[in-house]
Amino acid sequence: NAGVTQTPKFRVLKTGQSMTLLCAQDMNHEYMYWYRQDPGMGLRLIHYSVGEGTTAKGEVPDGYNVSRLKKQNFLLGLESAAPSQTSVYFCASSSGEGSETQYFGPGTRLLVL
C-alpha cells in the first residue's frame, strides 16, 4: 500500500515549456486535489476532482489544467510554464467521509527559469 505517489520529484523547466505532473493513489479515494505551496503563503488549491471523469477549479487555477481519466490518477498539466509557477506541488486524496483526512503525496519541486 503506497498511499499517494507523485512523479517526478523534481523538475527544471524553461519558460514556455510544458509538462505533466502525475499523482496516483491506491486507497480507492473519490476525492483528489492539487495544491501549490509557496513560502509564507501556505497551501493553495489549484484544481480538484470529486470522482473519475470530474474536475473543478480551486483557488489558483490559471495556467494549469487537470484530468482524471482513471479513479486512481490525477494529472496536472502546465501548458506554457512561467517563472511564477516555480513552487512545490502537492497532490492529496481523501474518501471525503466524516473525519477522514486528506493524505498527501511527497511533493514535486518545480523550478521554472
Partner 1 sequence: GQNIDQPTEMTATEGAIVQINCTYQTSGFNGLFWYQQHAGEAPTFLSYNVLDGLEEKGRFSSFLSRSKGYSYLLLKELQMKDSASYLCAVRDSDYKLSFGAGTTVTVRA
Task: Name which of 73, 50, 75 is nearest 64 in CA terms.
Answer: 75
- Of these, 5, 20, 86, 102, which contacts partner 1 (CB under 8 A)? 102
Binding region for partner 1 (CB under 8 A) out of 11-19, 64-72, 78-86, 97-105 = 97-105
Residue 48 buriedness (CB in 10 A; 0-12 / 13-18 / 19+) = buried
- Of these, 5, 20, 22, 43, which contacts partner 1 (CB under 8 A)? 43
x/- track of binding to partner 1 for residues 55-74 (CB under 8 A): ---xx---------------
- Of these, 21, 25, 31, 36, which contacts partner 1 (CB under 8 A)? 31
User: For 84, which DSSP code?
Assistant: G
Contacts 24+ apart (CB under 8 A), 64-70: 64/34, 66/34, 68/32
Q: Which is nearer to partner 1, 16 or 106 (CB)?
A: 106
